[in-house]
Amino acid sequence: MRQSLTRRSFASPRRSLIGLVLTGATLMAACGGDDTSSTPDSTVTEQEALRIVSLSPTHTEILYAIGAGGDVVAVDSYSNFPADTPITDLSSYEPNVEAISEYDPDLVVIGDDFTGLADQLTKIGVESWALPAPASLDDVYAQIVDLGAAVGHLEEAENLAASMKVEIDAVVNGAASVPQGTTFFHELDDTLYSVTSNTFVGSLYEMFGLRNIADATEDDTDYPQLSAEFVVSQDPTFIFLADTKCCGASVASVGARPGWDVLSAVKTGNVIELDDDIASRWGPRLVDFVKKIADVLETVR
C-alpha cells in the first residue's frame, strides 16, 4: 500500500502568464494571499517514487537537479528545462485527471494546488505533493529539501539547497552597493502585473538594497497590477522585464510606451531584459537570477 505524500495548500487561482512565478511558477502568473509555509512535514515518509508526473516547471527543474530525473515519466507543457524533460501537453492550470492517470504515476508533483487536484488524485488512488510559491529564500531551501524527501533523494536535495545558499550569499555579500532610495519595477507581463517584497522574487531585490515601487500600491495582493500612470509617477531607477518571452517586452518596446520615454530607467539605459523562466522559478537556476541582479548593479548608470 502506498503511503500518502499529499501536501495540501489551498490558494487563489493565478493568471496563466504569470502563474509560473510564481508557480510556476512560468510564467509568472499573478496570485495573492497564499500560505507560503514550506516547512517539511514530518508525516511525509521518504520513499523512491518510481513514476513521477510533474505539473510544475520549478519542481521539474528541482527533480532533475537532485537526481530524480530518471523517475520522471511526464511533465507539463511549460516544463522546458532541462532540455531532455519528457514534455507533454498536460496543463498545470487546467489539469485533467484522466490524462494524468494515463502515465500511471506513483506520484504527481503539483506545485500550488489551486484547483483541488490533490483531492481528485486521491480519489483514484494516486499520491501527490503540493506546496505554493515560497515567500523567501528560506522557504525555497526548505521546499527543495521537502521535495527531495518525498521522492527518496533527501541527501541530494539537502546538498543542492546548501550549495545554492552558499552561492547566493556570496553574490549578495560581494555585490556593489546602491544609493539609498534606489527603486525598481519588476514587470511580470505586458498588463503591468508585478510583485511586492512579500514574494520570493521581491525578496531577492530587497537583499541588494533596492526599493520596490509595487510596495506602494494599496492592492490587497502580493501580485498587484500597476497602472502606467503609477509607474511613471514612481519613476523607477531600474525596470526589470520578466516578460520578454511571453509578451515580447524589450528595451525598445518599453521606451516606445506613451509617456515612458521620460522615465529615469529608460533615459539611463537601466531597462533590463530577463529570461522569463529563470526570473520566475525557484529551482537551481535561481542562482543565475541573483547573479544577473548583481551584474546589473555593477554597471549601474
Same domain, 165 and 24: yes
Same structural domain, 149 and 273? no
Residues of the chain whose pLDDT is less than 70? Answer: 1-49, 301
The reported pLDDT for the residue numbered 301 is 54
Integer Cα distance of 101 and 14 in angstroms: 24
Q: What's the total number of domains in the chain?
A: 2
Q: Give the pLDDT score at 48.
A: 52
One domain for residues 152 and 33: yes
Residue 10: predicted pLDDT: 26
Which pLDDT score is estimated for 20?
Answer: 37
H helices of the chain, in order, are 57-65, 97-101, 117-123, 137-150, 154-173, 200-207, 228-234, 251-255, 264-267, 286-298
Q: What is the pTM of this model?
A: 0.83
In a domain, residue 261? The reply is yes
- Measuring CA to CA, which residue among 86, 78, 77, 74 is closest to residue 26? 78
Question: Range of 148's domain?
Answer: 20-169
Considering the domain boundaries, does residue 232 fall inside one? yes
In this structure, the answer to whether residues 105 and 140 fall within a common structural domain is yes
Whether residue 11 is contained in a domain is answered as no
2 assigned to some structural domain: no
pLDDT of residue 219: 83
Asked if 90 and 172 touch (Cβ cutoff 8 Å), the reply is no
What's the pLDDT score for residue 29? 34
As a whole number of angstroms, the distance between CA 205 and CA 45 comes to: 35
β-bridge partners, 116: none
In a domain, 144, yes or no: yes
Task: Please check whether residues 60 and 115 belong to one and the same domain.
Answer: yes
Can you give the pLDDT at residue 299? 80
Q: Domain containing 114 — which CATH number? A: 3.40.50.1980
The confidence score (pLDDT) of residue 21 equals: 39
Are residues 245 and 198 located together in one domain of the fold? yes
Neighbouring-strand partners of residue 127: 107
Q: How is 240-283 classified by DSSP, letter by letter?
A: EES-TTTS---HHHHHTSTTGGGSHHHHTT-EEE--TTTTT--S
Closest CA to 79 of 110, 35, 48, 101: 110
